[in-house]
Structures are given as structure tokens and as C-alpha cells.
């Protein structure tokens, strides 16, 4: 049995944990630079506020309905996520944290669990009690069905946060009430193509011939159909596969025009990518470095360059060197840069690295371990490569940021005595 | 006569301090004070109503959400949108203070009330802490 446990409107729910004054109020959370709405709590959903709407377009509507607005407080979300995942982990010895608020569980030798509904409610209760975060729990005989059950648990009427797909009737009941885009692995483009064939619901998709669909579409569709029919095709290792690309990119709070400013911003994106790469024990072979003005500008400027490392690396210093190497071809004076970023587009597994006879290994695991330890203990950018600079002009705009309740002593919640 | 103190250990070369291998075994306050790390949060006490049981303004409270609250426990609750620290009286549905000048508060059905956790420890700050002072930064 597989399960998917994830938080209900995670960012908005996390904002409510340490601020009891907004527990019963509609809350929305804005993305980087306060650009768009990225999370809407259930109370705000009832007001009809859509996700991914640019903030400035709904500003007056939000004020009118007294909706609480928050900037993304990543420090808080990361800390609460870790606690939430630890509580969930108690219920299964096989957990894979899929994203900041989702984790898959794989129950292998759990014959003693007779009532999955009840078990799901136990998980929900424990997480709510210990972290004050609401979660939905979906069980299924494949990971795709677990994802579908999770959707039902949270979005379909009649399920109170827990849904189980363990036989044909529960499978039919849930899948026929699900639209295609809600199926794991079916994107908006694919669902449009499928709808031309008259396939509108997940149940209709499940009843297609996997072979025919493979010929017409892809092996991915074939696999999805099999999974929807209870045939596990994604092994546990597929589900928990490492990321094949790692990006760090962001638009600027204020346009950047100067050489050093842009270089510092790109380098610090490089440092973030390097850190994430180390975390999943990979090495970077090819790095994409890019910067652009806004597409709404008169003279739109965009430049991206791929840098190839002679030997794949996770060394922040080597990555900063690589960026410095290509930077002169990216920067153009007079351009009002709006966005920049770095992406590791070819990644190798540290474990299976090919040694190169002609190029010395440039990795420095001891230094990087020390560097990661210091930054983990004292906060990111406590130590940083000099090229990343200390100028924070390009940092995000976060006008509605809540306090760092769990990571800064001066921000801990106040309790009235 | 001026004496320059030298640690004995420093004079001997080739021998490592026999204590070196025990270095990792420092005492951890977390281990002592927090029994459920994932269900615990830390807050700062504000106000005088709990002085009778030794919780003063500016003290640090360690709040355990995994613990079941019983009557007589010092708890933190969400009371009408505020975190409050009081003594729980379940049978009379009241929140008690530990101070002669603060009378008990009755919890009525109209009140927003949730128990957030049990205060398992409080830490007296005998001297101000730079970390806690917002004006310092």
C-alpha cells in the first residue's frame, strides 16, 4: 500500500501556526518579490480568490474582504516542514519526502493494519496536534492511485481529509469524479490532446488500452493507465529519483544595471545550486547561466550560456569560477536586468563518477562540508564566496513577511501571562 | 617575578590530551529540556500574572504539544486569537492565574479557545540576553 500525505494550503497554513490572531481569517501568501498569490487558505478559497493571480490585480479585492496577506517566509516553512515530516515518519518505516509539504509512504509489511481509513485519521490527528498543520492522507495500491486518493481526501466532498483506494468500487468512485489534469503525470497539454478523443475524467483514461495509448502518445501515458488500474509501474526508486536538473532563479526586487551587482546575484544563485547539488550527492557537469531584461521592455535582452566543467563538480568555488568565466559574455552595460539565474542541466551521480586521467579531481569535500555546516548552523550566506558579494540590493521584496518564529530568538512567539 | 602560565599539556609534544576523545560528549540543554522535539515550540512570557509559580516577564517557555493537558497543568492556549499562559482548571472550565491580583477567567462557548500545549519548562532570565533583545540588531 502506498500513501501520499500532504499539507492543506501549506504556506498559508504554516502562517497560522504561530499567529493565533489569523487562525480564523482568510490568508493568502505571495510568491517571491510579492508578485503572485501562491497559496490560498480554505477560508480565502471560499471568497473565490484564485491561485497564481498577480497580486496587484486583486489588491483591492483582498483589502475589501480583509484578507490577511503574507510574503513567503521560507525559513518558517522549512522548519515546520521538517517537524511535520518527522511526525509523519513515525507511521511508516519507508518515507520519501517528495516536496516541502508532500511525502510518500510505502507500507510493505503492515498486514496488521486492517482499517486504512482509521490509520489515515490517526496520522492527521497526530500531525495537527503536534504541529498545528492540517494534512490530507490518500492511500492507494500504486503511487498514482495514492496521489489520486489524496486529491479526493482534500478536494472532493464526502471525504474528510482521508481517502482510500483499495478495491474497484472505491477506485471507480474517486477516478470518475476526477478531471484529467488532477492525475499525476498528466499536464494541461496532454489533457487537451486526450480530451479531443473524448477522454475527460481519470476513470475514462483508466479504461483506455495501455498499448494503443502508448502508440498514440507515449510510454508515460501507458504507465499512468496501468498505475490507475492498480498495476504498480513506478517502483519505489522511481518515485524517489533524484532531481535531474537544479535551478535557482529569481527576478530582482529592483532592476540591476551594474556589473558587480549582476555578477554577485548570479554567483549567489550558483552557490544555491551547488548547495542543493551536494545535498542530493550529485555533481554538476554542465551549468546554464542566464540573465535578461523584462520581456515587457522595449529592447528585450536575454543571454544564456552553457558552461561545461572538465570534471563534474559540487565545489562552490569551482562553480563560482565557471560563472566568472562566462560572465563577461552575459553582461551588457546599459541593460536594466530584471531576471537572472543558474541551472545545473547535466548532473552526475557522485557515487558513479568517472575519473579522468588528464584532469585532476577538483572537488574538495572537506571544505564543502565545513562550509555547509557553518551555513546550516548560523544561517545561509554566513560564509560565502567573495564574488557573491554582501550587497543585498537584488534580494527579494518581502513587504508582508511574518517573524521568523522558530529560527530567530528575538522573533519567538510572545505568550501573554 | 612574572610567571607565564603554560598548560602542562602544551609542553608535551606527541601526546594528545587524553580528554580529546570525549570532546563530543558535551551536555545538551535540548536533550534535558525537550522530550518531543518535533512537537515543541519556544515562546517568551509577557506579563506578571504567573509570578506565583515563578514565571516572570521575559522568561522563556518551552511548550510541548504532544503532552495531554490535565487540570492543574501550566498550559499555553489560543484564547480569542492570543497565546496565553495560564493554569488549566478543566472541571470549572476556567483559566487560573498565579497572582492575587488576577482573577480566574471563565471559558464560555463564545470564546475562541484551543489548548496549544503544556508548558513543561520555564527558563528564568536573570540577566538580559542579547539574542532576545530586538533593539540590539
Instruction: Give A251-291 pLDDT, tens digit per residue.
Output: 887 888 889 889 999 999 999 999 989 988 889 989 999 99
How far A104 CA lies from chain B's nearest CA (Å)?
19
Length of chain B measured in residues:
137
The answer to whether B50 faces chain A, any CB pair under 8 Å, is yes
At residue B88 the predicted structure's pLDDT band, cuts being 50, 70 and 90, is very high
Strand duo A27-30 + A68-71: pairing: parallel
Cross-chain residue pair A414–B66, CB shorter than 8 Å:
no
- The upper half-sphere exposure of residue A248, i.e. CA atoms within 13 Å in the direction of its Cβ, equals 15
At residue A33 the predicted structure's pLDDT band, cuts being 50, 70 and 90, is confident
Per-residue pLDDT at B22 exceeds 70: no
Residue A242's pLDDT is 63
The answer to whether B90 faces chain A, any CB pair under 8 Å, is no
At residue B92 the predicted structure's pLDDT band, cuts being 50, 70 and 90, is very high
Closest residue of B to A17, CA-based? B116
Mean pLDDT of chain B: 85
Residue A390's pLDDT is 60
Q: Which of B55, B83, B125 would best serve as a mutation to test chain A binding (most A beta carbons within 10 A)?
A: B83
Per CB-CB distance under 8 Å, the chain B contacts of A82 are: 38
- The 3 state secondary structure assigned to A146-192 is HHHHHHHHHHCCCCCCEEEECCHHHHHHHHCCCEHHHCCCCCHHHHH
Per-residue pLDDT at A74 exceeds 90: no
C-alpha cell at B45: 512570557
Strand partners, A128: none
The one catalytic residue among B13, B35, B71, B86: B86
C-alpha cell at B10: 602544551
Residue A244's pLDDT is 72
C-alpha cell at A390: 554582501
Mean pLDDT computed over B97-109: 95
**Who wins on pLDDT, A99 or B3?**
A99
Nearest to A130 among B50, B66, B76 (CB): B66
At residue B16 the predicted structure's pLDDT band, cuts being 50, 70 and 90, is low
Nearest to B81 among A20, A412, A414 (CB): A20
Radius of gyration of chain A (CA): 24
Mean pLDDT computed over A176-205: 91
Residue A133's pLDDT is 97
Q: Which of A318, A257, A248 is nearest to A283 (CA)?
A: A318
Residue B136's pLDDT is 42
Closest residue of A to B39, CA-based? A130
The one catalytic residue among B49, B67, B103, B122: B49
Per CB-CB distance under 8 Å, the chain B contacts of A134 are: none
Closest residue of B to A23, CA-based? B81
Residue B20's pLDDT is 54
Neighbours of A277 (CB within 10 A): 25
Per CB-CB distance under 8 Å, the chain A contacts of B82 are: 20-21, 416
Cross-chain residue pair A414–B85, CB shorter than 8 Å:
no
The answer to whether A130 faces chain B, any CB pair under 8 Å, is yes
How far A25 CA lies from chain B's nearest CA (Å)?
10
Mean pLDDT computed over A222-244: 81
In angstroms, rounded to a whole number, what is the distance separating the alpha carbons of residues A48 and A222? 36
Nearest to B41 among A22, A87, A406 (CB): A406
Mean pLDDT computed over B116-134: 89
Per-residue pLDDT at B10 exceeds 50: no
For residue range A328-368, list pLDDT tens digits in order.
999 999 899 988 999 998 888 887 776 777 777 788 888 99
Burial of A253 (0-12, 13-18, 19+ CB in 10 A): middle
Cβ proximity of A248 and A272 under 8 Å? yes
Number of Cβ pairs closer than 8 Å across A and B? 87
Calculate what percentage of chain A has a pLDDT beyond 70.
96
Residue A393's pLDDT is 46
Residue A240's pLDDT is 63
For residue range A307-318, list pLDDT tens digits in order.
999 889 999 999
Segment holding A38, helix H or strand E: strand A37-40
Closest residue of B to A88, CA-based? B38
Q: Which of A29-38, A93-102, A121-130, A380-389 has the lowest mean pLDDT?
A: A380-389
Residue B137's pLDDT is 43
- The upper half-sphere exposure of residue A303, i.e. CA atoms within 13 Å in the direction of its Cβ, equals 14
The answer to whether A20 faces chain B, any CB pair under 8 Å, is yes
Nearest to B134 among A405, A406, A410 (CB): A410
Cross-chain residue pair B131–A131, CB shorter than 8 Å:
no
Nearest to B38 among A21, A87, A415 (CB): A87
Per-residue pLDDT at A140 exceeds 90: yes
Per-residue pLDDT at B18 exceeds 70: no
Is B86 a known active-site residue? yes
Q: State how far the alpha carbon of A78 is from the alpha carbons of A10, A11, A246, in Å.
A: 11, 10, 18
In angstroms, rounded to a whole number, what is the distance separating the alpha carbons of residues A80 and B39? 10
Cβ proximity of A61 and A42 under 8 Å? no
Mean pLDDT of chain A: 89
How far B115 CA lies from chain A's nearest CA (Å)?
10
C-alpha cell at A315: 565545489
Residue A297's pLDDT is 80
Mean pLDDT computed over B55-80: 96
Residue A296's pLDDT is 80
Cβ proximity of A71 and A30 under 8 Å? yes
Q: Which of A161, A226, A174 is nearest to A201 (CA)?
A: A174
At residue A53 the predicted structure's pLDDT band, cuts being 50, 70 and 90, is confident
Residue B47's pLDDT is 96
Q: Which of A7-16, A109-118, A229-238 has the lowest mean pLDDT?
A: A229-238
Amino acid at each position: 500500500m502506498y500513501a501520499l500525505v500532504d499539507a492543506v494550503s501549506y504556506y498559508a497554513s504554516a502562517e497560522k501556526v504561530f499567529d493565533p490572531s489569523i487562525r480564523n481569517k482568510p490568508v493568502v501568501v505571495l510568491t517571491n518579490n510579492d508578485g503572485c498569490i501562491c497559496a490560498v487558505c480554505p477560508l480565502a478559497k471560499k471568497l473565490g480568490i484564485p491561485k497564481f493571480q498577480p497580486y496587484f490585480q486583486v489588491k483591492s479585492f483582498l483589502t475589501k474582504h480583509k484578507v490577511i496577506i503574507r510574503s513567503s517566509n521560507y525559513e518558517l516553512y522549512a522548519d515546520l516542514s521538517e517537524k511535520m515530516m518527522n511526525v509523519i515518519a513515525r507511521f511508516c518505516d519507508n518515507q520519501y519526502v517528495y516536496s516541502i509539504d508532500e511525502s510518500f509512504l510505502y507500507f510493505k509489511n503492515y498486514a496488521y493494519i486492517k482499517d486504512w481509513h482509521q490509520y489515515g485519521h490517526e496520522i492527521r490527528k497526530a500531525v495537527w496536534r503536534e504541529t498545528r498543520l492540517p494534512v490530507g492522507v490518500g492511500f492507494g495500491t500504486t503511487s498514482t492511485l495514492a496521489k489520486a486518493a489524496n486529491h479526493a481526501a482534500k478536494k472532493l466532498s464526502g471525504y474528510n481529509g482521508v481517502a482510500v483506494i483499495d478495491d474497484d468500487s472505491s477506485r471507480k468512485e474517486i477516478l470518475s469524479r476526477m478531471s484529467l489534469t488532477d492525475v499525476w503525470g498528466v499536464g494541461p497539454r496532454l489533457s487537451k490532446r486526450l480530451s479531443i478523443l473524448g477522454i475527460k475524467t481519470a476513470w475514462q483514461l483508466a479504461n483506455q488500452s495501455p498499448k494503443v495509448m502508448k502508440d498514440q502518445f507515449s510510454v508515460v501515458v501507458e504507465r499512468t493507465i496501468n498505475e490507475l488500474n492498480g498495476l504498480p509501474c513506478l517502483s519505489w526508486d522511481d518515485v524517489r529519483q533524484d532531481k535531474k536538473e537544479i535551478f535557482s532563479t529569481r527576478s530582482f526586487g529592483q532592476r540591476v544595471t551594474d556589473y558587480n551587482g549582476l555578477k554577485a546575484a548570479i554567483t549567489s544563485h550558483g552557490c544555491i545550486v551547488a548547495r542543493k547539488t551536494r545535498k542530493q550527492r550529485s555533481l554538476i557537469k554542465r551549468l546554464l547561466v542566464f540573465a535578461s531584461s523584462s520581456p515587457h521592455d522595449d529592447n528585450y535582452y536575454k543571454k544564456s550560456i552553457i558552461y561545461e566543467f572538465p570534471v563534474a563538480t559540487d565545489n562552490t568555488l569551482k562553480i563560482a569560477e565557471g560563472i566568472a568565466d562566462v560572465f563577461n559574455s552575459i553582461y551588457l552595460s546599459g541593460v536594466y536586468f530584471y531576471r537572472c539565474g543558474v541551472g545545473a542541466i547535466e548532473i552526475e551521480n557522485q557515487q558513479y563518477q568517472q575519473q579522468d586521467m588528464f584532469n585532476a579531481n577538483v572537488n574538495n569535500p572537506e571544505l564543502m562540508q565545513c562550509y555547509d555546516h557553518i551555513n546550516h548552523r548560523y544561517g545561509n550566506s554566513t560564509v560565502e564566496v567573495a564574488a557573491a558579494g554582501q550587497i543585498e540590493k537584488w534580494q527579494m521584496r518581502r513587504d508582508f513577511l511574518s517573524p521568523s518564529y522558530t529560527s530567530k530568538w528575538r522573533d519567538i512567539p510572545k505568550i501573554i501571562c | 617575578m612574572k610567571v607565564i602560565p603554560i598548560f602542562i599539556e602544551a609542553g608535551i609534544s606527541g601526546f594528545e590530551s587524553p580528554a580529546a576523545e570525549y570532546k563530543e560528549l558535551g551536555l545538551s540543554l535540548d536533550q534535558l529540556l525537550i522530550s518531543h522535539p518535533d512537537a515543541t515550540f519556544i515562546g517568551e512570557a509577557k506579563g506578571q500574572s504567573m509570578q506565583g509559580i515563578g514565571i516572570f516577564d521575559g522568561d522563556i517557555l518551552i511548550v510541548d504539544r504532544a503532552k495531554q493537558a490535565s487540570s492543574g497543568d501550566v498550559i499555553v492556549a489560543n484564547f480569542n486569537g492570543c497565546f496565553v499562559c495560564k493554569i488549566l482548571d478543566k472541571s470549572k472550565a476556567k483559566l487560573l492565574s498565579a497572582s492575587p491580583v488576577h482573577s480566574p477567567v471563565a471559558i464560555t462557548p463564545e470564546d475562541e479557545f484551543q489548548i496549544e500545549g503544556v508548558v513543561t519548562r520555564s527558563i528564568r532570565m536573570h540577566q538580559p540576553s542579547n539574542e532576545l533583545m530586538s533593539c540590539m540588531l
